[in-house]
Amino acid sequence: MLLPTDALDSLWNFKLPILISNFQALIFGVISGMTAHKIVPHKSDMIAKRLAGFILKLQHDQILLVVFKDYIAIFTIMIVVIYLYVILLYGIASSFNITNWLTSMKNMAPALVTAIATSSSSATIPVTLEGCKKNIKEHDMEYMEIFLDSADLNEIKELKELIDGITTNPSLIAKSGHKNKYKDLISEICSIIDGPVSVEVVADSHEEMVKEGLDLAKIAENIIVKLPLTYNGLISCKKLSTEYNISVNITLCFSPGQALLAAKAGACFISPFIGRLDDISYDGLSLIEDICTMYSNYMFDTKVLVAS
């Protein structure tokens, strides 16, 4: 009986010189993929043409039928398992939101087809990037909003027609010079502005943050509880957002990784401090670009509130 391995022996018993290294092959694959995508942009699901010649060779030698007969079940199971695994990953990334789930799978399908057809991650890179761009364009992008960082009632009244929200902190409230009690001042600000009013807690512990956040949220419906990007701040954000449906603004963000943690904790806003980064010669705006790209690709609803 002719075994598949015996039938294939004639094809494997030859030697070829090593023309290029794996690293060079990877670079060549990336360049080829990018070039092909630019030349024929509508043919995103690129399949290596050399595979066609190999398949024709197997068919000519009457080996293809033997291979399919013995391995078709394994091939089918492998492909089904791979697709189910990828579908599950996109489901997790989109928090199992059906609309976002289907959109991301549709946009990334060419990359998956390319990866399975060529078994080459480098050939997939250009198609993957194109899919990411589509996800960004098709994801609901909010228009830009302007928040005033102030607790001065006169200033807020003067600019209320030009702004979309207010951010405050204990220092700003202390500097405002108003004799109103803390909660009374916040309540008056909320009555002037229809949009979000971000109010910061002063507590340090998880329990006190949650308690203070609940008290602040009772002042007005448009209150956004501001929490620091610390361990206690993140777990308090998770509790307030999931158990009490309270909107949270996570502040003191300095990296994409921190922004990811805030989004996963259910933050409504993330406040990266780009001014502080610029002060140490780090490009703060590049951080904003990275966070926005990450949120768009993974379809987080967290808004980026750029701070100094």
Classify 181 in phi/psi space as left (phi over 0), alpha (psi -120 to 50) or beta: beta
Q: Describe the crossing of helices 98-118 and 121-138 by its angle, rounded to 10 degrees.
A: 160
Q: Residue type for 154, please?
A: N
CA–CA separation, 305 and 62 (whole Å): 64
State yes or no: is 211 an active-site residue: no
Which of the residues 38, 226, 238, 303 is marked catalytic?
A: 226
End-to-end CA distance of the chain: 76
> With helix as H, strand as E and coil as C, how does the chain read?
CCCHHHHHHHHHCCCCCCCCCHHHHHHHHHHHHHHHHHHCCCCCCCCCCHHHHHHHHHHHCCCHHHHHHHHHHHHHHHHHHHHHHHHHHHHHHCCCCHHHHHHHHHHHHHHHHHHHHHCCHHHHHHHHHHHHHHHHHHCCCCCCCCEEECCCHHHHHHHCCCCCEEECCHHHHHHCCCCCCHHHHHHHHHHHCCCCEEEECCCCCHHHHHHHHHHHHCCCCCEEEEEECCHHHHHHHHHHHHHCCCCEEEEEECCHHHHHHHHHCCCCEEEEEHHHHHHCCCCHHHHHHHHHHHHHHCCCCCEECCEC
Rounded alpha-carbon distances, angstroms, from residue 179 to 169, 174, 198: 16, 9, 20
Q: Give me the active site residues, please.
A: 226
